[in-house]
Chains A and B, each alone.
Chain A
Amino acid sequence: MSGDHHGSSAISERVRHVEALLEERGLVDAGEIDRRIDEFLAGGSPANGARIAARAWVDDGFRDRLLADANAAIRGVGLSMAGGLQEQRLKVVANTDDEHNVVVCTLCSCYPIALLGPSPAWYKSEAYRSRVVRDPRGVLAEFGLELPADVRISVWDASAESRYMVVPRRPDGTDGMSEEELAGLVTRKGLIGTAAV
């Protein structure tokens, strides 16, 4: 457990108390709470984003549709941005030899959970949110991603209604790989833009 989660037992008591109070007043029931937790955990996975990225690598038509209208393109492969409390607009941006993309939500934590699963704590931290827009190259270097000076970096700031995902550059030497093998190369950080793939 990290230092961010201090006083865990005190707050755990307070949450239990409020939950009991709300159950007493008929506003929630215990079964519903467990069901919503399960729904959240089952609601998304970086395997979904990885599948989209790999498809974009092998299918130029899909890639074009994805970059033009991501919500429609992902519906075509059985995924959706409508699983949460409201449908979110999705924009997908693709890295090239000349341009690298990275995603943040400076205001809080907006993130395409359906495609990436629950977000990592660093994505929600004030440190990442404040710094990646001021010094993206420096922040990416801290993640171990040293980009050549002539690669342009675009930072995409998500909001309540708009979410972003990055298609990483297809790694060299992967010509013989199947779409499924390619998807296995793609990481959550690659889809956020803080790793190369």
Chain B
Amino acid sequence: MSRINDVGGMVGFPAIVEEPDEPAFHADWEAHVLALNAALIRRGVYNLDEFRDAIERMPPEAYLASSYYEKWFTAITTLLAEKGVATPEELAGA
């Protein structure tokens, strides 16, 4: 069964928006999310396929409501909890 990330050919999405002079990152936290993910993969906490899978199994509503690096951050925290690195409560700062 295809998952929500498999949007090829799906109808109902809006027009494509181009951003002139777009920066590589729209905020510092996006760069930190990218770097955290690279660091965790290099360290073997999880691998690239597990990371992709963690994005792709997001619930459709959350997937569609999240920006690109928000999806990455969701995947990172999902995997950190599943791998037992930290509890969801610790990750949420509760």
Point out residues on A near B: beta carbons under 8 Å. Answer: 1-2, 4-6, 8, 11-19, 21-22, 25, 27-28, 32-34, 36-37, 40-41, 85-86, 104, 106-109, 117-118, 120-122, 124-131, 133-134, 139, 142-143, 157, 160
Task: Tell me the minimal C-beta distance from B12 to chain A in angstroms.
Answer: 8
* Other-chain residue from A104, A106, A131, A160 in contact with B52 (beta carbon distance below 8 A): A160
Contacting residues, chain A, for B7 (C-beta < 8 A): 106, 126, 129-130
Interface residues of B, count at CB 8 A: 52
Chain B residues numbered 1-59 whose CB sits less than 8 Å from any CB in chain A:
5-11, 13-19, 22, 24, 26-29, 31-36, 38-43, 45, 48-49, 52, 55-56
* Other-chain residue from A1, A21, A36 in contact with B38 (beta carbon distance below 8 A): A36
A86-B80 CB under 8 A given contacts A11-B73, A14-B93, A128-B16: no
Task: Tell me the minimal C-beta distance from A113 to chain B in angstroms.
Answer: 10
Closest to A26 in B: B43
Can you report 26 residue pairs joining A to B where beta carbons are below 8 Å apart? A1-B26, A4-B67, A8-B26, A8-B27, A12-B27, A15-B36, A18-B36, A18-B80, A19-B36, A21-B91, A22-B36, A27-B43, A27-B85, A32-B35, A34-B35, A40-B24, A85-B41, A108-B56, A120-B19, A120-B22, A122-B19, A126-B64, A129-B7, A130-B9, A130-B10, A139-B16
Contacting residues, chain A, for B31 (C-beta < 8 A): 37, 40
* Other-chain residue from B26, B28, B49, B90 in contact with A2 (beta carbon distance below 8 A): B26
Docked-complex contact B8 and A157, CB < 8 angstroms:
yes
Point out residues on B near A: beta carbons under 8 Å. Answer: 5-11, 13-19, 22, 24, 26-29, 31-36, 38-43, 45, 48-49, 52, 55-56, 64, 67-68, 70, 73, 76-77, 80, 85-86, 90-93
Contacting residues, chain B, for A121 (C-beta < 8 A): 17, 19, 22, 26, 68
For the complex of A and B, list the 6 residue pairs with the smallest distance between their C-beta atoms, beginning with the closest.
Answer: A106-B8, A36-B35, A118-B24, A12-B29, A130-B7, A127-B13
* Other-chain residue from B9, B29, B43, B52 in contact with A15 (beta carbon distance below 8 A): B29
